[in-house]
Amino acid sequence: MSLSLDATQLDRYSRHVILDDVGPEGQKRLLDARVLVVGAGGLGAPAIQYLAAAGVGTLGIVDDDVVERSNLQRQVIHGDGDVGRTKVDSAADFVADLNPDVDVERHELRLDASNARELIAAHDVVVDCSDNFATRYVVNDAARIEGVPVSHGAIYKFEGQVTTLSPEGPCYRCLFPEPPEPGTVPDCASTGVLGVLPGTVGCLQATEAVKLLIGAGEPLVGRMLFYDAMDLSFETVPYARNPDCPVCGDDGIDTIDGIDYAAGCQIDAA
């Protein structure tokens, strides 16, 4: 951990430093923390923005996509001049301009079973901003094996959901044992999404990540927060660990080798 905050950092993070639940020690934890953000799109953009502003010292950003003009309605760290650039490069430039304290590690790739454990093990918290079930399952499974907490978020049209998957609590497969049938959950390219929605949900994910890093508050472990933007309502629904869960249950897995995430993410019973 860094020994002290310099004068510039004391000024930059002064509103953190004066908070009883953060203070200089909490800010030092943030500066020494490593957070992996999976996806630099709708959810990843606000998460990256606020984690960088908070002074998270190292942000690993995973994305294999390029910026398209249709992204700009909601992916607020990218601008018109970034169209055609890789999202990791655009995100890294945004972070560098926002906060020079933050180092960005660019991973221009798709997170999958071949690289997930190594990437996740090198970080303190994962913020899962992915937009597909295969990636969500591999993040969950690899993070559980590596003992790394995950701040999960998802959006659909006007609705969002957030939960936190801690190594001691229920996992994503306790909530959703199996993914929906292919084609039954359309993406935002075919159904649309309210532009401000991922801003709300991504900020909630960043909030959970910061709380985990400084050890303050009550994370959404074993609780799913549902948000409806149309009537501006929030509902929290508890859920429990499933003792028969193939990942976090009594006979949970210790490797993700051999799991075909592209073909339904099924884990065969032992």
Which of 129, 171, 174, 188 is flagged as catalytic? 188
Helical axes 44-54 vs 87-98, angle rounded to 10°? 30
Is 203 considered catalytic here?
no
> Are the beta carbons of 60 and 34 closer than 8 angstroms?
yes
- CA–CA separation, 48 and 44 (whole Å): 6
> Are the beta carbons of 42 and 74 closer than 8 angstroms?
yes
CA distances from 44 to 11, 26, 83, 164, 180 (A): 27, 23, 17, 16, 23
The 3-state DSSP class for residue 235 equals strand
Token digits of residue 7: 């004068």
Residue carrying the six token digits 């709300």:
200
* Nearest CA among 91, 105, 97 for reference residue 36: 105
Residue type at 173 in one-letter notation: R
Long-range contacts of 21-30 (CB under 8 A, 24+ apart): 21/214, 21/216, 21/217, 22/214, 22/216, 26/214, 26/215, 26/216, 27/55, 28/1, 28/2, 28/4, 29/1, 29/213, 29/214, 29/215, 30/54, 30/55, 30/56, 30/57, 30/210, 30/213, 30/214
Token digits of residue 104: 């960005």
Show which residues are catalytic: 188
